[in-house]
Chains A and B, each alone.
Chain A
């Protein structure tokens, strides 16, 4: 094969490439053949010592497609996701709304317990005051008031600790869930909670 024949065949095999890339490849091999001849080989030897034009072209085209398309995502799953959007988006919104209302209900329960605790405590204080006031005037009533005061005071103290733990736990749980969700959405930068 002559140099011209070699380059012609190579050029044809490289037709999928852009004009610039094809010219670059041809220039590279043309220069190589010339240098080999300059260093003592005949034209025949210079050409035959190389791989065949089809082998060379296959290698170049492989290399070109490797760098051109880095792992395209399967288009099918993306299409399904978009087509199904009218279905899963409302469902997602509904689910999120249910969760959110459950969450609010939970906090409302806590708040009502706090309200009960506070009102018991206030009742206790009020009864204590009336005990103090009635002590001299009407001792039996005063003692009753003291008893009631102690009763309500005791209940509110009993309620205080569990309610406080519940609030602390709920607050930290809320914080951790928010951080987790944010981390998931922004790409898991730090999973440590």
Chain B
């Protein structure tokens, strides 16, 4: 996948995995990995960017005798996801058109 496209995707993916409940580093990587390649060092600058942009808020809570940083999605973060989804609805329309035309073409070629 194109690297700039991938970056944007990873950010939205990370944001989305916080929708159900607040999350933390290790859990974020585990939740997002099935869908897009992400490493610990990729996640770190993304979390920094999301925080400085105000899409997430951060807090620390105790877990098994140590402090864990939790990330919580903000309303502007939700807005960013909504924007992404509506932008991609139009992209999907185009994709479906192309896919259908392509499939039709393959059928007539094989006849």
Name the interface residues of A27-75: CB closer than 8 Å to any CB of B.
Answer: 27-29, 31-32, 34-36, 38-39, 50-51, 55-56, 59-60, 63
Contacts of A34 in B (CB 8 A): 66
Cβ–Cβ contact B66 & A31, under 8 A? yes
Cβ–Cβ contact A59 & B41, under 8 A? yes
Distance (whole angstroms) from the CB of A13 to the closest CB of chain B = 13
Q: Give the number of A-B contacts (CB < 8 Å).
A: 40
| Count, chain B residues at interface, CB 8 A | 15
Interface: A123 (CB within 8 A): no
Cβ–Cβ contact B45 & A63, under 8 A? yes
Q: How far is the CA of A127 from the CA of B64 in the complex (A)?
A: 115
Q: Identify whether the interface residues of A are mostly helix, strand, loop, or mixed.
A: helix
Across the interface, name the chain A residue whose C-beta is closest to B65.
Answer: A34
Cβ–Cβ contact A29 & B40, under 8 A? yes
Q: Mark B1-39, 1 if CB is under 8 A from A, else 0.
A: 000000000000000000000001111000000000001
- Residues of A in contact with B (beta carbons under 8 Å apart): 25, 27-29, 31-32, 34-36, 38-39, 50-51, 55-56, 59-60, 63
- Residues of B in contact with A (beta carbons under 8 Å apart): 24-27, 39-41, 44-45, 48, 64, 66-69
A-B contact pairs, 13 of them (CB 8 A): A25-B44, A28-B44, A29-B40, A31-B26, A31-B69, A32-B25, A32-B26, A32-B40, A35-B27, A51-B39, A51-B41, A55-B41, A60-B44
